[in-house]
Structure 1
Amino acid sequence: MEVKFCSSCGSPMETRDVDGTPRRACTACSFVHWGNYSIGVGALVERDGKILLVRRAQEPGKGYWTNPGGYAEQLEQINETVRREVLEETGIEAVVTGVAALRDQPRAVHNLYVAFSMTYVGGEAVPDGVEVDAAGFYSLAEMDTMNVAPFTRWLVDVALKRGGSAGLAVDEAPIVPLPGYGLFRC
């Protein structure tokens, strides 16, 4: 669907060349529509060699076992999004330790999915009864008998076979204070 009106001032949009790419731009202000994007996050919470999984109670993926996750809110850092989603879906408290994997899925709404390594802090896995109807920590052997979504199988492999690497780790003490930034580094 083509953007017809500016989301900043409401004026009509036109197609213009912006840096060699046709883009929808406002006829009255400087707003440029750069595209449609969504940012998804997922948690890889490990405890005693097992990974936290949930069974989806809603579409998409109803009936599949996946890692907990969701979509970033406009004014929420993605490392807070994943922490919140894990707590909401399972009652598990966990903290982000790093970025384990990324999935880039260009399509009508370009989706970037960030999978976070997380450390279990506390709680018992209890499904929220809305988005998920089951939750728990499962071993690879247990997953063999479960309806685990293919992408989640790949993420579990990443989580359990990363060879001691935490991926991109949280930068707790950047050399320059950058309040409001979510910073990760090798």
Structure 2
Amino acid sequence: MTVNFCSSCGQPMETRMIDGVERRACTSCDAVHWGNYSVGVGALVIRDDKVLLVRRAQEPGKGNWTNPGGYIEQMEPIEETVVREVLEETGVHTRVKGIVALRDLPRAVHNVYIAFEMEYVDGEPAADGVEVDAAGFFTLEEMKSMKVASFTQWLVDVAVNGKNEGLLPDREPVVPLNGYGIFRV
């Protein structure tokens, strides 16, 4: 899809060579359309050797079992996003432990997906009835007979067989970085 009008001032856009790439730029205010991106998050929650999964009630992936997750809101810190998504979809309260996986999916809307290892706090899984129609904790054996999405199968392997704690939140950086969500090994 071509961007024809500037989202900042409403004037027409034109194609210009910027940083060696053809990009759409405003003819009036010089705003540049850098592309279309989305950032998704997913939660890997394990309780009593069982993984929290939800069954998608909507496309994409309707009918597949996946880990809970969703997209970040514009001004929402990513750690709050993943906690919110788990709570909204399942009613389960969690806390972020660390980032354990990342998927990069270049396409028309370039998607980056960040998977978090989550600490189970409390609550029993209950589907929200909108995005998901079922939720629960399942063993690896139970998952063998379920329609678990391929990417989720990979994420479950990361959660169960991961070799380290991943990237952990840096709560005390060497310099103040207010407003940043930062993680490190």
Q: How would you bin the TM-score normalised by the shorter chain?
A: over 0.9
Moved over 3 A (4+): none
Which letter does structure 2 place at the counterpart of 1:103? Answer: R
For residues 126-158 of structure 1, the C-alpha deviation after alignment (integer angstroms, 9 at most, x for no partner) is 111111111111111110111101110000001
Pairwise CA RMSD: 0.9
Q: Distance in 1 between matches of 2:180 and 2:23?
A: 28
Q: Tell me the equivalent position of 2:74.
A: 74
Q: Tell me the equivalent position of 1:166.
A: 165
State the 1:178 CA deviation: 1.5
Query: Structure 1: 5+ residue runs without aligned partners?
Result: none
Query: Structure 2: 5+ residue runs without aligned partners?
Result: none
Scaled by the length of structure 2, the TM-score of the pair is: 0.97
Q: Tell me the equivalent position of 1:29.
A: 29
Q: Distance in 1 between matches of 2:57 and 2:17?
A: 44
Question: After superposition, where does 1:88-127 map in structure 2 within 5 Å?
Answer: 88-127=88-127
Q: Tell me the equivalent position of 2:183.
A: 184
Q: Tell me the equivalent position of 1:47.
A: 47
Residue identity (%):
69
Query: What's the secondary structure of 1:39's corresponding residue?
Result: strand
Which letter does structure 2 place at the counterpart of 1:179? Answer: N
State the 1:75 CA deviation: 0.9
Q: Distance in 1 between matches of 2:97 and 2:103?
A: 18
State the 1:56 CA deviation: 0.8
Q: In the comparison of the two structures, how many residue pairs are matched?
A: 185
State the 1:177 CA deviation: 1.8
State the 1:30 CA deviation: 2.9
Q: Distance in 2 between matches of 1:96 and 1:4?
A: 41
Q: Tell me the equivalent position of 2:5.
A: 5
Q: Distance in 1 between matches of 2:61 and 2:82?
A: 19
Which letter does structure 2 place at the counterpart of 1:21? Answer: V
State the 1:47 CA deviation: 1.1
